[in-house]
């Protein structure tokens, strides 16, 4: 036990670094090299190895059997499960070393499940969750839940599912219907549908069914099922989404509340106001998404970083 420092080192651990935060605990048979930096209140469990070029934030948990190699940054409040494996060289050879190791970043609040593998040079987004045994070959967006080999997104943390089918079936007449959601300003719309022996027709009107005047539309199609689109917010642009074919999952996030919707009928739409973080994923193989936008394309209108989006929401009160 360390008697002179404000952190704990077990008698059977080897901690060569002096840059250890207050209240951190390093348990038996762990080895921390001299160049490593650990924040406060970390918990480093048995048989953990931490190399030199490693930065670890506050309140990080490293469970047994984890090795953290050069080039890895772990931000605050991250959980690393037992035997999770980091890598830092895509083409390793014995006694052959790269000039620099690819920087892997695990963002604040993320969790890595037991026995998962993280390839080098990736970013695991804020609050993301990697399932046990997953093999992560690409960067993971904030709040995403991924599983499998290669890891694929299967959901988003705290995204409450909304039964849009039930909402549509409750309004079968020809009158358009709008339903509120818990996400600020986001509404679900059932458009007029007319069906007879000749086929079906769905219709909406701008500034009525679609609650703004549209200056632009675009179609998204031929999206591989594993891919995720959107992952941004707009500063001033309004959007209205309709799955004209197939099915698509839509996540809407106002920085405080997050809900997940399924668009699977051409008379169902979702309105996303400005400053709403939107994600579309789990496209069916035949899915075609139509998006109406209130403004012409302007790259400056996009907010593509979730942390920036959260900061702007916080500043706006």
Hey, which residues are catalytic here? Answer: 232
Task: Tell the residue number behind the tokens 């994600």, with chain if given.
Answer: 279
What's the number of CA atoms in the CB half-sphere (13 Å) around residue 286?
5
Q: How far apart are CA 134 and CA 153, in angstroms?
A: 11
Tally Cβ neighbours within 10 Å of residue 270.
Answer: 26
Contact, 29 vs 47, CB < 8 A?
A: yes
Give the DSSP H or E segment for 165.
helix 164-169
DSSP 190: E
Angle at 5 between CA 75 and CA 35, to 5 degrees: 45
Q: Give the CA distances from residue 195 to residues 71, 136, 159, 253, 288, in Å, rounded to whole numbers and listed in that order.
A: 60, 46, 34, 34, 21
Q: Which two tokens stand for residue 259?
A: 């809900």
Asked, as a colleague might, if the bond just before 150 is cis with ω within 30 of 0, I would say: yes
Return the SS3 of 233.
strand
* Bridge partners (DSSP) listed for residue 245: 288
């Amino acid at each position: 036990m360390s008697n002179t420092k404000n952190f704990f080192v077990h008698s059977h651990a080897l901690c060569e670094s002096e840059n250890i935060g207050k209240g951190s605990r390093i348990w038996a048979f762990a080895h921390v090299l001299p160049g490593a930096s650990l924040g406060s209140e970390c918990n480093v469990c048995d048989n953990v190895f931490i190399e030199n070029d490693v930065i670890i934030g506050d309140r990080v948990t490293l469970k047994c059997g984890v090795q953290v190699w050069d080039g890895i940054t772990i931000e605050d409040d991250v959980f690393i499960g037992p035997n999770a494996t980091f890598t830092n060289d895509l083409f390793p050879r014995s006694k052959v070393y790269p000039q620099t190791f690819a920087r892997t970043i695990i963002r604040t609040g993320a969790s890595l499940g037991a026995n998962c593998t993280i390839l080098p040079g990736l970013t695991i987004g804020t609050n993301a969750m990697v399932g046990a045994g997953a093999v992560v070959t690409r960067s993971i967006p904030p709040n995403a839940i991924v599983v499998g080999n290669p890891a694929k997104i299967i959901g988003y943390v705290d995204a409450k599912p909304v039964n849009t089918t039930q909402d549509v079936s409750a309004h079968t007449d020809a009158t358009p219907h709008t339903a509120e959601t818990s996400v600020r300003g986001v509404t679900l719309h059932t458009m007029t549908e007319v069906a007879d022996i000749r086929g079906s027709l769905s219709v909406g009107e701008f500034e009525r069914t679609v609650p703004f005047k549209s200056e632009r539309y675009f179609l998204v199609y031929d999206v591989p099922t594993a891919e995720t689109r959107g992952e941004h917010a707009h500063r001033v642009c309004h959007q209205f989404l309709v799955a004209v074919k197939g099915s698509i999952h839509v996540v809407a996030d106002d920085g405080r509340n997050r809900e997940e919707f399924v668009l699977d009928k051409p008379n169902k739409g979702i309105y996303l106001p400005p400053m709403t973080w939107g994600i579309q994923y789990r496209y069916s193989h035949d899915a075609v998404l139509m998006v109406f936008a209130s403004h012409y394309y302007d790259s400056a209108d996009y907010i593509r970083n979730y942390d920036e989006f959260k900061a702007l929401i916080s500043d706006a009160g």
